Chain A
Amino acid sequence: MLIKGGLLPALRMRVALFIPCYIDAIYPEAGIATYELLQRFGVEVDYPLHQTCCGQPMANEGDQANSAAAEKLFVENFSGYDYIVGPAGSCVKHVKQHFDAIPQTDEVKTVRANTWELVEFLHDVLRVKAFPWAYFRYKASLHNSCSAIRGLHIAQPSEHMAPYFNKSEHLLRMVEGLELVSLDRPDECCGFGGTFCVTDEAVSARMGLDRVHDYVRNEAEFIISPDMSCLMHQQGIARKAGIDLKFIHIAQVLNGGPF
């Protein structure tokens, strides 16, 4: 059997969709795009309905007691799948690397090892070679989150001396019409940082504003990211400063919508 578009052989694997809480509530279109995109590649996707949050907000505060409950529920929801795919680098990084508020049973370890960020899943597991349905006629800039870069290694960090690679960029270059513009500080943190954005508001906002100005200087119209949380912060800053920039999840671009 060949899947739609005939790009890949059918993949007989059990895949669960992990939609982080803020995507669920604020950016459902990023979740829909992810779901549809995976289906285009013939992946059968389950969405466990009882999922909530991976526990990252509490864990990043150092609050192990309160993150334990969320971690336990996450494992209950996602146990038994070959792949757990989430369109959010920082949440996936949390599951993979910092999910230690609960005892590390074999089940927990398996869930952690099977969890993938969307870009790396497309790039490394599905090994996607084309997005024939995608068309995006804009000048855009890529924002990989720090968790995705330095945590999940979906791109080479600029300060680490090794050959350049950037998986998100690699995928976006397959999209017809899209012109990627580079930035003065390509992988500088935007200052979101989870709770940091409210507890350290002045620094967070200044970092975000500097980031937004970098986009403007380099004439980007759209900002594309595998992490909507960074974009939520940057979008809020751009709107408050009256700067006209559009922010969009990478799944929407690769899937050709919904916009």
Chain B
Amino acid sequence: MAAKRVDPAANAAAFIDQDDIHEPAHDRNLWAARMKRDAAAKAIPEWEDLRTIASLIKEHTLTHLDKYLEQFEANAIKRGAKVYWARDAAEHNQHVWNILNERKISSIIKSKSMLQEECGMTQFLETRGITVTESDLGERIQQLDNQPPSHIVMPAIHKTAADIAQIFSKAIGTDPNNTDPHYLNEAMRQDARKRFLEAGAGMTGANFAIAETGTFVVCTNEGNADIGAAVPRVHIASIGIEKILPKVEDLGVFIRLLSRSALGTLATQYTSHFSGPRKGGELHIIITDNGRSKRLGMDDFWHSLKCIRCGACMNTCPVYRRSGGLSYGATYSGPIGIILDPTFDESKYSELPYHSTLCGSCTEVCPVKIDISDQILRWRKVMAEKKFLPISRRLAFSAAGKIFERPNLFHGAETAASAALKITPHFLLYNRALNPWGRHRELPHFAKQTFREWFIQNKQQNQEDKQQP
């Protein structure tokens, strides 16, 4: 059965209407991240060149993916890692389960991984009796609140400190009235310590995987991935096939771009390279496709695979900032979510491409130059062709199409519209269900005389005189 269609406009309206605190704070915090990003980018004279180079490296890699993936696999195995291939979420989760089950591991600690999120891994493992603990602070907050991350880099950015104090008071017994971030952070840090020590395996994702060395790189600001990979004996890493870079020297370009784009910082606090298992430990790498090959074959959309998950497009997106990431009802939110999510389920996410003003700022900030805004428009064409548009919208535009193609009908309709506006009772125009324009806006006044009428009255004679031979 088809999944229920997500309605981002209604979800965003609920986010805005809940109170006068959350949406303004969300907008302010993310705008601040965008401003920090601008300052960090401006400090590098070759910023735009870096973006171009990064984009070209990704294009090259994505068009030679088979070669680089096999090279990465061979080199990772040489370093002692065990490598698995997963075609989809089910295979990915099965690999993880097999590794844990064979070793009788019942609890794991994990750092942020959008891929594991995509695969619904936590839920899959929990139903099999595994205790899964998120170690990234934002992810942990979301886990305790039973919500998915609302932002790629800042998973709980839609929450206030007061929200978090409530969640922590229930989960780990902090004072519900103490909203001091340092207090809350320290309390969670202490709670996490014992979980790191108890975990039978640590799981991470990867930001980059280097083909020539078989090394992968994980970037965090909390060092949580490092503890997770260093304390338990078993380290499992989930890596999407698009994370590959050919050479170590390529990495410098991306490290310079990633954190500057994400948060306006020069680099993440921790940029850790994992090259084979540590002494006495095990390293398992699950190279996962989960729809990426299919996306690679889509002429209009394969460039979205260049994404390095920095979140810059979300921070700059004026619609995302007012909506909150959960409004997108998907693993990925914001502009990048709009172009990735429909590749997983076109019907369920058919409304997402319309949750955009097409302002284009996402395209300009993207560190790997994905033409996000143009892809959003192209997704609309796909949705319209496949008749996913709501029927009311389809009928309205079909009528408009007929009017605009016939000048006489159009000029008649103009007069009718202006006459109708003059006599329509106020309550009809300002009723939300009937006319969404009017809830927050006054209607424009139609002019007494259109430009065309003015022209015919005042200028047409001149034009005709001129055109005489």
User: Which A residues are closer than 8 A to B by beta carbons?
Assistant: 19, 21, 23-29, 31-32, 35, 44, 46-47, 49-53, 55, 57-58, 60-70, 72-73, 98, 146-147, 149-151, 157-162, 185, 188-189, 191-210, 232-233, 235-237, 239-241
Q: Most A CB atoms within 10 A — which of B401, B418, B436, B460?
A: B401
Q: In the bound complex, what is the Cα–Cα distance between A236 and B440 (angstroms)?
A: 8
**Would you mind naming 12 contact pairs between A and B with Cβ atoms under 8 Å apart?**
A31-B451, A61-B384, A70-B404, A150-B363, A151-B360, A157-B364, A160-B364, A189-B359, A194-B357, A233-B441, A236-B437, A239-B441
Q: Bound complex: CA of A202 vs CA of B436, how far in Å?
A: 9
Secondary structure of the A contact surface, majority rule: helix
A195–B377 Cα distance when bound, in Å, is 13
Among B13, B373, B389, B454, which residue has its beta carbon within 8 angstroms of that of A203?
A: B13
Other CB < 8 Å A-B pairs besides A149-B360, A159-B38, 13 of them?
A: A24-B450, A62-B380, A62-B384, A66-B397, A66-B402, A68-B401, A72-B405, A146-B361, A193-B359, A198-B435, A200-B355, A206-B16, A208-B440
Chain A hits for B400, CB < 8 A: 53, 57-58, 66
Binary CB contact string for chain B from 100 to 129 against chain A (1 if under 8 A, 0 otherwise): 000000000000000000000000000000
The reply to whether A62 and B404 contact each other, CB–CB distance below 8 Å, is no
Bound-state CA distance A70–B404 (Å) is 6
Which residues of the partner chain A approach B23 to less than 8 Å between Cβ atoms? 206
Q: Is B393 an interface residue when CB atoms closer than 8 A count as contact? A: yes
Q: Do A159 and B34 contact each other (CB < 8 Å), given the known contacts A47-B459, A57-B400?
A: yes
Known: A35-B455, A69-B401, A196-B356. A202 touches B318 (CB 8 A): no
| Contact B440–A240 (Cβ < 8 Å) | yes
Does B398 sit at the interface, judged by CB under 8 A? yes
A74 to chain B, nearest CB (A): 9
> Are A185's CB and B455's CB within 8 A?
no
Contact in complex: A62, B360 (CB < 8 Å)? no
Q: Which residues of A contact B463 (CB under 8 A)?
A: 46-47
Contact across chains for B357 and A25 when beta carbons are under 8 A apart: no
B97 within 8 A of A: no
Known interface pairs A28-B451, A203-B319, A203-B323; A198-B405 also in contact (CB < 8 Å): no
Q: Give chain A nearest CB distance to B137 CB in angstroms.
A: 28
Residues of B within 8 A of A208 (CB): 440-441
Chain B nearest CB: distance from A158 CB in Å?
Answer: 7
B401 with A98: CB separation less than 8 A:
no
Picked from B9, B48, B385, B410, the residue with its CB within 8 Å of the CB of A161 is B48
A224 to B463, CA, bound (A): 30
Given contacts A24-B451, A189-B361, A202-B13, contact A236 B401 (CB under 8 A): no
By a beta-carbon cutoff of 8 Å, the part of chain B in contact with chain A is 8-9, 12-13, 16-17, 23, 27, 31, 34, 37-38, 41-42, 44, 47-48, 316, 318-319, 322-323, 353-361, 363-365, 373, 377, 379-385, 389, 393-394, 397-398, 400-407, 410-411, 414, 417-418, 432, 435-437, 439-447, 449-456, 459-460, 463, 466
Query: Cα distance A172–B81 when bound, in Å?
Result: 64
Chain A residues closer than 8 Å to B323, beta-carbon distance: 203
Supposing A57-B397, A150-B363 touch, asked if A161 and B41 sit within 8 A by C-beta, the answer is: yes
In the bound complex, CA of A202 to CA of B9 (Å) = 8
Bound-state Cα–Cα, A32 to B454, Å: 8
Q: Which 5 A-B pairs have the closest CB atoms?
A: A66-B401, A62-B380, A236-B441, A193-B357, A69-B405
Q: Given A146-B361, A191-B357, does the pair A161, B47 have CB atoms closer than 8 Å? A: yes
Complex contact A189–B401 (CB within 8 A)? no
Chain B nearest Cβ from A188, distance in angstroms = 6
* Distance in Å: Cβ of B298 to nearest Cβ of chain A: 16
> In the complex, how many angstroms separate the beta carbon of B172 from the nearest chain A beta carbon?
35
Of chain B, the residue at the smallest CB distance from A196 is B357
Are the C-beta atoms of B446 and A64 separated by less than 8 Å?
no
Contacting pair B405 A203 (CB below 8 A): no
With A28-B451, A31-B451 known to touch, is A61 a contact of B397 (CB < 8 Å)?
yes
Instruction: Pick the contact of B456: A49, A50, A205 (CB < 8 A).
Output: A49
Contact A52 B404 (CB under 8 A): yes
Contact assessment for B443 and A198 in the assembled complex, using a CB-CB cutoff below 8 Å? no
Find B361's partner among A19, A73, A147, A157 (CB 8 Å cutoff): A157
CB of B451 within 8 A of CB of A235, answer no
Name which residue of chain A comes closest to B415, CB basis. Answer: A25
Write the nearest CB–CB distance from B53 to chain A, whole angstroms. 14
A145 to B: closest C-beta gap in Å: 9
How distant is the Cα of A58 from the Cα of B452 in the complex, in angstroms?
Answer: 23
- Closest A residue to B448 by beta carbon equals A28
Known A-B contacts A189-B361, A200-B9; A70 and B380 likewise in contact (beta carbons under 8 Å) = no
Q: Please give the distance in Å from A184's CB to the nearest CB on chain B.
A: 9
Judging by beta carbons under 8 Å apart, are A26 and B444 in contact? yes
Closest to B439 in A: A201
In angstroms, Cα B285 to Cα A240, docked, is 58
A53–B459 contact, CB under 8 A? no
CB neighbours (8 Å) of A53 from chain B are: 400, 404, 410
Bound form: Cα–Cα A52–B402 in Å: 11
What residues of B have a CB within 8 angstroms of the CB of A52 in the complex? 403-407, 410-411
**CB <8 Å contact, A206 and B364:** no
The answer to whether A73 and B360 have CB atoms under 8 Å apart is no
**A187 → B minimal CB distance (Å):** 8
Task: Say yes or no: A64-B381 contact (C-beta < 8 A), given A69-B401, A191-B318, A203-B12.
Answer: yes
Would B9 and A27 count as touching, CB distance under 8 A?
Answer: no
Beta-carbon contact of B466 and A44 below 8 Å: yes
Please measure, in the bound complex, the distance between the C-alpha atom of A146 and the C-alpha atom of B317, giving whole angstroms. 12
Residues from chain B with a CB closer than 8 A to the CB of A232 are 444
Q: Hey, which chain B residues are within 8 Å of A49, CB to CB?
A: 407, 452, 455-456, 460
Chain B residue, CB-CB nearest to A90: B358
Tell me which residues across on chain A come within 8 A of B445, comparing CB atoms: 26
**Chain B residues within an 8 Å CB radius of A73:** 404-405, 407
In the complex, are the beta carbons of B322 and A207 less than 8 A apart?
yes
B444 close to A189 (CB less than 8 A): no
Q: Give Cα A29–Cα B448 distance, bound, in whole angstroms.
A: 11
Q: Which has the most chain B C-beta neighbours within 10 Å: A28, A46, A62? A: A62
B437 touches A240 (CB 8 A): no
Q: How far is the CA of A237 from the CA of B439 in the complex (A)?
A: 9
Residues of A within 8 A of B398 (CB): 66
Contact (Cβ within 8 A) B384 A200: no
Which of B48, B357, B447 has the most chain A CB within a 10 Å cutoff? B357
